[in-house]
Amino acid sequence: DIQMTQSPSSLSASVGDRVTITCQASQDISNYLNWYQQKPGKAPKLLIYDASILKTGVPSRFSGSESGTDFTFTISSLQPEDIATYYCQQYDKLPVTFGGGTKVEIK
């Protein structure tokens, strides 16, 4: 199975800060990488697909990029409503696998 190593597991930042989460794949997955947001007690929501494409309706402060097997998710200016756990997910090979998640909190 492809392992997705996500870091950090948690972070605390101030409103307006730039937040960066990374996800490293254990092998080449091309750009077959998605990012999800999960708020407490809620189902996940797809934010970014194919590594860097913002789903329609998602605020532009969210972005994604890739460099080889390393993927980056960025919130350019953290807002209070962004408090959530974020997951990366690869779909290059079955089984589909998720990263361990990054819990984002407000400082």
Partner 1 sequence: QLVESGGGLVQPGGSLRLSCAASGFTFSTYAMNWVRQAPGRGLEWVSAISGSGKTTYYTDSVKARFTVSKDKSKNTLYLQMDSLRAEDTAVYYCAKDTIGSYPCSFDYWGQGTLVTVSS
Q: List residues near partner 1 by CB under 8 A.
A: 32, 34, 36, 38, 43-46, 49-50, 55, 87, 89, 91, 94-101
Distance CA 45, CA 57 (A): 12
Q: Which is nearer to partner 1, 61 or 100 (CB)?
A: 100
* Least Cβ distance, residue 20 to partner 1 (angstroms): 20
* Least Cβ distance, residue 88 to partner 1 (angstroms): 10
Q: Which is nearer to partner 1, 58 or 83 (CB)?
A: 58
Element (H, E) at 35: strand 33-38
Amino acid in the structure at residue 34: N
Q: Identify the residue whose tokens are 């997705």.
A: 4
Q: Which is nearer to partner 1, 75 or 88 (CB)?
A: 88
The answer to whether the beta carbons of residues 101 and 44 sit under 8 Å apart is: no
